[in-house]
Structure 1
Amino acid sequence: MTKIAIYARVSTEGQAEEEVPINGQIDECRKFAAEKGWEVTEVFTDAGFSGRTDDRPSFRRMIDIIKSSPNHKPFDIILCWRSNRLFRSVEHRLAYARIFKRHSIRFVAMHEPEFEGSSAMFMETVLAAADELYVSQVSEDTLRGLKQIAMAGYSTGGKAATGYRNVRKVAGLKPNGEPIMRTGWEIDPDYAPRVKKAFEMCANGSSGPEIIKATGVVTSPSSLVSLLRNRAYLGERIYNVMKQVDGKTRRRANTKPEDIIRKENAHEAIISPELFDKVQAVLERKRPHMQGRVQNSKRIYLLTGLLWCKEHQALYIGKTNATLNYYVCGAKHKLGDKISVCRTVKKEIIEEFILRNLQTHIFTDKRIRAGLEHLAKEKVKNKQEDDRERKEILAKIKQVEVELKRFYDAIAAGVSPDNLAQPIEERTAQKNKLSLKLAEIDRQREIDLKIPDITDAMISSIKNKITEMLAASPEEIKALLPQFIEKIELDGNITNISYVVSDEQNVACYWRPQGDSNPRSPP
């Protein structure tokens, strides 16, 4: 029998009267489970906790039970009255859906269609693309402002380079006459001479350890090299040399030269250009030069486990020779050309073909728009619940303030403060707790993903972001494909792609395994 866990929640005591109370949620879930023939083995309840946070006692206990049972499932299904009882944001829902999936546990909301498997993966991809789009827009605005600050010769944040120290300066006046303050660099009298000495010692042939011991400007040879290559000591302000890419791994990549900000005479120089050039020549002579043949990186075959030969019902496997990467039918590899006549398939061509089909048939405008509309509805529901929570909290704060006023009025009328000290302390603590809850709601609303109006241009931008995501590292793409593709079956010159998503299941295209990089669609 299928074993299930029921989860029920209300945000506050007052909301229990407006919404389905916890006991009502549990009763409905039990009835639903009985109709399905499921056995209820666990019931988790959180009363007075917002679904916006995952820091809820029973919710955390449920997750801990799941994670602490790696070899067996504590239950097969988590059942809720509605999904917003378990999660208040799509972000949380998708994050924990991955945990449930790793442990083969389904999540079912009684009054909603299931949102898991390929659908969850699709929504997660759209969400990530929308989030990246919004963040990139904010980042562009922020970067534009920081570039202007750097072009004016001021610091864009962080510590000053060794040998300098931060100092606040007036950079101008606001329309109301208030000063605009910016951070600049000035010579640090303690460390600037040490930095200059480090450059001079390097130019005269001293070793790294000798320079570090004599100056103490850094603690390691690699840090010393970075210091000696820093053009800031010539008085230059350099900004935006590196940029962050790939929101998941936060890798850093070089910025285009035209996007780099270089401002001369931004601050006082510590060394002369002649000394700097002499040190660069010394460092270049000491730089180790790679010799010999560079090893080829390991080849990742994206379609391993997905690509099938229909004739022999065998998986294709990846093979590499001196010049080519290709897929070969497992039967051909095992039995030889005389027994199996299956053609080999060029790796790059078929992988590009499959990724293009994935974009064409899964990440369509219609699907992306539907996904964004779902996210927008989730945000509206979250705002409505936030408004209810805020209204109740504000009412309670007002009630506590009335009670505190009565106590203070009583003291003013002659009642001993000692007699009212304890109730005043209790009400004050209650007010502080309520104020913290209110502040947390407001803070979370500020950092929520802000989805702009859904337009054709936005959908086009998200499709471009998804294209970038499908051009990620081979390891990431290989892990992603099984979430959307069930099987790719080669039948002569025809490729049948079976998608995991319920509709558009069988997408057939003619495929020419050898030489044709533009497969034809069937008539």
Structure 2
Amino acid sequence: MSTATLDTTTSERAAETPVMLAVSYLRVSTREQAERGGTDEGFSIPAQREANARKADELGARVVREFIDAGESARSADRDGLQDMLAFIAASRVQFCIVHKLDRLARNRADDVKIHEALISAGVTLVSATESIDQTPSGMLVHGIMSSIAEFYSRNLATEVTKGLTQKVAQGGTPGRAPIGYLNVRQTDDQGREIRTVEVDPERAPLIAWAFERYAAGETSVTALLRDLTARGLVSVPSPKRPSRPLGKNALYRVLTNPYYAGVIRYKGALHPGAHEPIVKPALFDQVQSLLKARNAHATRHVQHAHHLKGLLHCGNCGSRMLLDFATNPRGTTYAYFVCSGRASKRTTCTRRAVPVQVAERLVEDSYASITISEDDYRHLAAEVDAAFDKRSAGRDQEFADLTANRARLEAESDKLLAAHFADAIDLPTLKRHQDRVRAGLADIEHRLREHDELRVGGRGFLHDSLRLLTDARRAYAHSDDGSRRLANQAFYTRLEITEDEQLHSRLAEPFATIVREATGGKEAKRDASTGSATGNSDVACSRKTLWVGRAGLEPATEGL
């Protein structure tokens, strides 16, 4: 009786013990490995899967998801399978990540550290099916040694490959796939050794030679030559994944500039004599290069003239954008002007005269004097900003606490849903439906928490920075380079208009418009009280002779400042 009771109690405890969960990661470096033997996965991936499954059984864990990178190098962590696994681990509650060997995961220390930190932050233990690594000091030592060995192997292999390619180039060999007009050929000698060589393509080589001769005559362009070659039937060499297709303009340009066709190999920026048969003579190739350079130099004469006000000015009469134009007098002197695009294109009946560039530059620079505030205004407005933010954030502490509690509740609910799905209590569609609801709730909470932080820190700092910019606006603009001046105009103004009488009317962007109104409001109110007038124009204007700021009416204090 006691034995039966003990067995029943043991079974109940085993049933109550949660099953540990694991993910399995598999990788092979090359596509040939993944397709070896005529199967979809080759031989290595099934072997890794079997070893990982045995390791999971030893750990008493169940593999809930398998991630595979077939034909992906471990020198980079930018692998679809790896990134999907890290995202899954971050969103679920697994205990183990099982790999066949550490070099399946990474082959350099930097990526190994980043991946391991991501696993640790998610509470996941990295397990190797063939290596003794764990979280103990000795296990971490073995982990570091094996990771360093993997990185050494990868770097040494790359060095050996580079050394081999360099030696091949030194002997006149082709380092890689031959360009169009040639064929990569594999042959076997009398001793059964494989010899890889390059031969002239009898179908495409005559067309390549004709292209060089045709262009060297100087009677055609690259675009016209491409049309003629396509009409003659020049197409690329087909591959198992890509069918034959006509060349593009960039591909033809690369053909015309590739010294390989003249018997010279370009490798790492250096030129080496090749052992392959040239298609064109070196003199013909040099003639084509000279013609290409001459035509490129001719094409670069028509350049666009840059100016920091280009695209920012508008006509004060018709509202059209003002364009940068140049005029040359009979003595050869060139003058720059801004002209109304509406008048130039005759889209409008505008009669706006051209504005010299120097006048436009002076008007914009002088406008910054109109928006500069004093140190007293800065201190006064900064105090108002701090008071407004303190008042608004005082009543939001409880809201922040409620949002934090709701986030913890939704995260716990997400964990319970995953546990129920792994226990086959709910099906996948039901899990997805509830996860979408939980995810939407968490996204809304995170958005509101970010708004709370932005209100307390970001918004306050932004307004203080904006106030400080206005205390030194004119001097900073006058001593800035053209790039900084363009950025300043785009930040401070939403529109700049030059009128017929050469006045600049500008619309300030926020928060500068509000700051200038508040800074000038008190002074304008005093002046209006003394003169008995009141106006509400807040646009900033400037002319060649005078500087003035439009009078602004007082606004009620807002919490947004």
Q: Could you state the TM-score of these two structures normalised by the residue count of structure 1?
A: 0.34
Pick 1 or 2: higher relative contact order, CA cutoff 8 A, min separation 6. Answer: 1
Q: Could you state the TM-score of these two structures normalised by the residue count of structure 2?
A: 0.32
Which structure has more helix as a fraction of its residues? 2
* Rg (Cα) greater in structure: 2
